[in-house]
Every structure is written in structure tokens, then in C-alpha cells.
């Protein structure tokens, strides 16, 4: 069953068509990769799903709900979270505080209970802090929990952003180049972590990534874009052998070439 369905998506910026007549169906519980050369329109698709952009035409449906009719601030409540190609973190706050902020929507205390610091508010704070600590531990950031984010290496900051996104407990997680800035050992661990997150949250992952070893290693389905349009779709084995994909994206080499 498809949890996310995109039909006839088109968006242009001035005279430049960034995405043209894209159709995409993402199956529930899957890891679905969206790949293609730089400028293919991949991040633009994610920006349309997450409501940073409003498409010129087309439909985006998540669990039967039309997302183009939703304001962006409602997406977390609908069960959608994302990471960004360019980091969107509170750089001067600690790792723990970044993750705790994402847990704000799970607090049950009323405004009066917060203002008067009543017992339910204190229990809320304790519960959400413990949950944030557990998430930090699960992604391997426990040693950095009190570190200021801007002081961490870029690859570690990417993990902070991932931790913050899963703190929202999404059913659909949009990942925009999560492996950027990581070495091969870290990327291997990231692949294991993403599969763990999918199982733990019973979530669906839509992944944009240039590292083809990661894409081929964890995806059940891959959609390839070129020049804003659909090029091919299939299993990793099918995509690996697809002549059009090899020509347009892989450049004839196995996995290694970045676009």
C-alpha cells in the first residue's frame, strides 16, 4: 500500500522547470531512494512534500490526505519529518536541547500548569528529557549530549539533525543527503541506523543521497530523476543494470561516482 503518492507534480521558477510531470508512489514501511544528478529536482520534490514550495500543478497525498492543502506547520502533527541538505539546527544550543525542542509537541501540561510549575508539568519535563536522552543514545551521540552543536564536526551535526527528526516520531521521514560529511565507516553505521529507525518507528523513509553504496544497500525501491523529470524506477538490482541510469547518473562506474 502506498503511503505517499505524487501525481503530475510540476513546479517552475521563472522560466526554469524544476520538476515536470513527476509521478511517484512510496510503499508503506519501505526505504525508497530518489536519486539523480545535481540539479535533477530531487530536493525540490522534498520541498514540495514538506510545503516549503507550492507546486504549480499536481497532487501530493500522504495517507490519503492532500498535502498541498496543508500549511507547513501542520506536517509534524500529520506524521512527517525531514532532514535538510543544508543543516537547519540551533547551532548555539546543545545536542540535548536541539532534540528536546522537537519533543515540545508531546507535552501534555496545560498553560496554567506550566506557568505555575505544577506536578504534571514537572513530570512532562522529566519524561521528555528522558525520551530525548534515549534518542541521543540510540544514534550514538551520548558523548556529545552537552556539546554545543556548532562545535561538532559536520558529519556529527548531520546525526544531530537525524536525532531531532526522529524525536518527532514520524511515520514518513524525508532524508536529504544524510551521509554528507561522513566517512565510509560512519556511512556504514548510518545505513544500519536508518534501518533500525524504520523498524523502531514503523516508518517509511524517502531518501535523497549521492552515496550509491548507501542507496543500494538499504533501499527497496529507487526512483531516478534527470532534468526535473522521471527517468527510471526499480529495485537496486534493476537500477544498477539500467542503461539510461548508467549513462545519466552512474557514469559507467559501479556506485562510486558522485553527481
Q: Is 176 inside a domain boundary?
A: yes
**Pair 141, 24 in one domain:** no
| Whether residues 150 and 191 fall in one domain | no
* pLDDT the model gives residue 108: 59
Residue 112's pLDDT band (cuts 50, 70, 90): low
What average pLDDT does range 16-45 have in this prediction?
95
- 237 by Cβ neighbours in 10 Å (0-12 / 13-18 / 19+) ranks as exposed
Are residues 213 and 137 part of one domain? no
- pLDDT tens digits, residue range 193-229? 999 999 999 999 999 999 999 999 999 999 999 999 9
Q: What is the pLDDT of residues 115-166, one digit of tens each?
A: 556 566 667 777 888 899 999 999 999 999 999 999 999 989 999 999 999 9
Q: Is residue 102 within 8 Å of 167, Cβ to Cβ?
A: yes
Provide the total of helices (H) and of strands (E) in the chain, helices listed first.
10, 10
214 and 178 housed in the same domain = yes
In a domain, 105, yes or no: yes
Return the CATH number at 26. Answer: 3.40.50.300
Same domain, 188 and 229: yes
The larger pLDDT score, comparing residue 192 to residue 182, is at 192
3-state class of 159 per DSSP? helix
154: containing domain? 89-168
For the residues 27-38, what does the mean pLDDT come to? 95
Domain boundary residue among 114, 140, 168? Answer: 168
Examine residue 84 and state whether it is found in any structural domain, yes or no.
no
Give the mean pLDDT of 60-88.
Answer: 90
Whether residue 49 is found in the same domain as residue 150: no
Residue that is last in its domain, among 113, 148, 168 = 168
Please tell me whether residues 71 and 180 are part of one structural domain. Answer: yes
Residue 179 and residue 57 share a domain: yes
Q: Is 75 in the same domain as 174?
A: yes
CA distance 203 to 217: 18
Angle (CA) 69 73 77, round 5°: 90
Q: How far is C-alpha 243 from the geometric centre of its chain's CA atoms?
A: 28
Q: How many domains would you assign to the chain?
A: 2
50 pLDDT above the threshold of 90: yes
In percent, the amount of the chain with pLDDT more than 90 equals 70
Instruction: Read off the C-alpha cell for 133.
Output: 536522552
Q: Which of 114, 146, 168 is the last residue of a domain?
A: 168
Amino acid at each position: 500500500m502506498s503511503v505517499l503518492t505524487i501525481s503530475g507534480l510540476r513546479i517552475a521558477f521563472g522560466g526554469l522547470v524544476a520538476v515536470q510531470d513527476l509521478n511517484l508512489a512510496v510503499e508503506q514501511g519501505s526505504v525508497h531512494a530518489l536519486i539523480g544528478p545535481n540539479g535533477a529536482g530531487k530536493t525540490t520534490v522534498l520541498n514540495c512534500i514538506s510545503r516549503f514550495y507550492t507546486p504549480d500543478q499536481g497532487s501530493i497525498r500522504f495517507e490519503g490526505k492532500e498535502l498541498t492543502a496543508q500549511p507547513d506547520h501542520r506536517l509534524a502533527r500529520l506524521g512527517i519529518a525531514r532532514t535538510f541538505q543544508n543543516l537547519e539546527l540551533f547551532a548555539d544550543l546543545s545536542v540535548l536541547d536541539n532534540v528536546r525542542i522537537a519533543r515540545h509537541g508531546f507535552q501534555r501540561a496545560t498553560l496554567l500548569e506550566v506557568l505555575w510549575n505544577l506536578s504534571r508539568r514537572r513530570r512532562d519535563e522529566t519524561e521528555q528529557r528522558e525520551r530525548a536522552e534515549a534518542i541521543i543514545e540510540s544514534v550514538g551521540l551520548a558523548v556529545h549530549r552537552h556539546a554545543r552543536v556548532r562545535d561538532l564536526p559536520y558529519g556529527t551535526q548531520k546525526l544531530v539533525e537525524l536525532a531531532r527528526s526522529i524525536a518527532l516520531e514520524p511515520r514518513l521521514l524525508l532524508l536529504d543527503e544524510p551521509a554528507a560529511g561522513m566517512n565510509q565507516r560512519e556511512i556504514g553505521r548510518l545505513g544500519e541506523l536508518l534501518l533500525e529507525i524504520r523498524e523502531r518507528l514503523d516508518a517509511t523513509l524517502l531518501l535523497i543521497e549521492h552515496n550509491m553504496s548507501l542507496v543500494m544497500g538499504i533501499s527497496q525501491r529507487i526512483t531516478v530523476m534527470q532534468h526535473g523529470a522521471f527517468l527510471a524506477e526499480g529495485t537496486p538490482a534493476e537500477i544498477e543494470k539500467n542503461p539510461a541510469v548508467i549513462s545519466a547518473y552512474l557514469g559507467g562506474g559501479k556506485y562510486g561516482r558522485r553527481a
